[in-house]
Structure 1
């Protein structure tokens, strides 16, 4: 997910080791460095997506978001 003018990208991806969890990473666009990370239940993904949408983020075409 990306917000116009933001230097960050939010990536939500399933945890390959455990299908019940997802990794949420906040990355710097220019460097790809991870500046924040959350490990959440898969059932909480919609809550995180809603939170980031309220903050102005929207899904990126071809992104890794589940």
Structure 2
């Protein structure tokens, strides 16, 4: 299970292929953290590179909420 979204690693990609969980690690130190799905791994990497991004995305979504 993904440590963030709690989904199994057997989700299918757009081409139908099985996607495994990714071993997440700190890009500065190399220290292994936990297993993440591809989506959560991408989000984690983006926020780690630009910490203000998470709040900016949240504000954007709230602004456009229905």
TM-score category (smaller protein): under 0.3
Structure with greater strand percent: 1
Using CA pairs under 8 Å that are at least 6 residues apart, name the structure with larger relative contact order, 1 or 2.
1
TM-score (norm. length: structure 2): 0.27
TM-score (norm. length: structure 1): 0.27
- Bigger Rg over Cα: 2
